[in-house]
Structure 1
């Protein structure tokens, strides 16, 4: 006689809870994306008002751009070196190393430098914006601004957003220069490629379009970084714990959105 089928109820319950958890997480994520989009629209509408006080944006450009150069430089050195090491490993026995510079150049310009620079900057700037606005909300400074008829988006968010959008291309170009230099040094020290061969291969199949796309999409990343930090700063609850949660959510969401927009832009233009 065939024994009845035993259904693992506990396993089904765990699977169901996991499914509901993933569904709720996706719902919350897309809800945040909608709120961030709304905040981005309000920021863009108020952006022309910044010309009445340009000094706010210049100050933020210094904080976001110049103070991030050291972090970007250190990261770019290892990005350029790692690109050469990985390309050499993949080429070994299959492709001649005379194409090493071309492959490294393509990878750095189109993906590695723009994306990794955006992720590194977001870890610093998104958290800083979320912490600043969250602290102002916790200490009721935002309420005080509302009482004085001062628009928080105009005076707090617009300067930071313009600074992020303007400085991200500058940081990426700087990152590419550092990464290229590091890749040349790594290739000379750890491979059999000569300097002349490597530099000549850099010019092979190089299209200005690749450089333009890699730099231009970082402006979108800059908008994402600023909007994500601002959104979670405004949404934070009062107290130190709420500010900490806001910074964590800001950097996590910014990283995911950067990768999402990178895929969308690559799908549309490449």
Structure 2
């Protein structure tokens, strides 16, 4: 029993220590975020990688999710003659929850892993040491542009994902479930409120910071060799995904607890 409790305590302390290290890393990143110099070329490259190149996976994820959501709501609503709520529930479900969360998880899968692998490889090949030799702070050069790009682009991706998801639900409802196109669109517009859209964009910004920050943190703290790169990539996606889901819960409570 003592050995079991000791093991649990050790795990808890390890988690708390990891949280502390991430918090310190985030604080240092924030400090560098507001102080010069700024590396514009790195920032533009991160914008391209995180934003534009993520559009296909975000679009496909959103359109299929919106269509499946419409089918499920219609099937469930038909049990108590509430099929007419499909446009309203698809809209609020995509904008408040599914759009931001799924985009965040796709970014974690695609971008966080890429950032972690890239920076970990740079560490293994001593490119980060070379930056220090050239009097370039690694976090200023590698972390800040990527975190700033995540803050800017992921809310835009969430907005695009919300629209595409609603469009996917619209297509299924109109083409397969017999909804009137004009009525469906009118119900969607009437039901959504500015707070719904605001919450979606704020979640996107938070998820973008989490995804890029965890990729940079895991890459900077990776072990040596190919095994270290693989471990950093895996841990970055795991941590980013869990933190995104936790942040979604907290932000939902902030916006909609009343």
Name the TM-score, length of structure 2 as normaliser.
Answer: 0.92
Q: Assess, with a 3 A threshold, how the Cα gap between structure 1 residues 130 and 53 changes in structure 2: closer, same or farther.
A: closer
Q: Assess, with a 3 A threshold, how the Cα gap between structure 1 residues 250 and 22 changes in structure 2: closer, same or farther.
A: farther
> Aligned match of 1:100 in 78, 82, 86?
86
Q: Assess, with a 3 A threshold, how the Cα gap between structure 1 residues 26 and 74 changes in structure 2: closer, same or farther.
A: farther
Q: Deviations over 1:241-261 (max 9, x none)?
A: 110010000000100000001
What residue is the counterpart of 1:6 in the other structure?
none
Give the distance between the partners of 1:44 and 1:181, measured in 2 at CA: 37
Name the TM-score, length of structure 1 as normaliser.
Answer: 0.88
Give the distance between the partners of 1:82 and 1:23, measured in 2 at CA: 43
1:1-270 matches, within 5 Å, as: 24-49=10-35, 52-270=38-256
Q: Residue 159 of structure 2 contacts residue 200 of structure 2 at CA under 8 Å; is this kept in 1? A: no
Give the distance between the partners of 1:76 and 1:84, measured in 2 at CA: 12
Q: Report deviation, 1:28.
A: 3.2
Task: Name structure 2 gaps, 5 residues minimum.
Answer: none
Helix, strand or coil for the counterpart of 1:113? helix
Q: Report deviation, 1:218.
A: 1.1
Superposition RMSD in Å: 1.9
Give the distance between the partners of 1:265 and 1:200, measured in 2 at CA: 28
Give the distance between the partners of 1:58 and 1:40, measured in 2 at CA: 21
Q: Report deviation, 1:143.
A: 1.6
Q: Assess, with a 3 A threshold, how the Cα gap between structure 1 residues 21 and 262 changes in structure 2: closer, same or farther.
A: farther
Give the distance between the partners of 1:67 and 1:187, measured in 2 at CA: 30
Pick which of 80-89 and 159-168 moved more.
80-89
Q: Assess, with a 3 A threshold, how the Cα gap between structure 1 residues 123 and 165 changes in structure 2: closer, same or farther.
A: same
Who wins on radius of gyration, i.e. which is larger?
1
Give the distance between the partners of 1:50 and 1:117, measured in 2 at CA: 31
Q: Assess, with a 3 A threshold, how the Cα gap between structure 1 residues 208 and 38 changes in structure 2: closer, same or farther.
A: same
Task: Name structure 1 gaps, 5 residues minimum.
Answer: 1-11
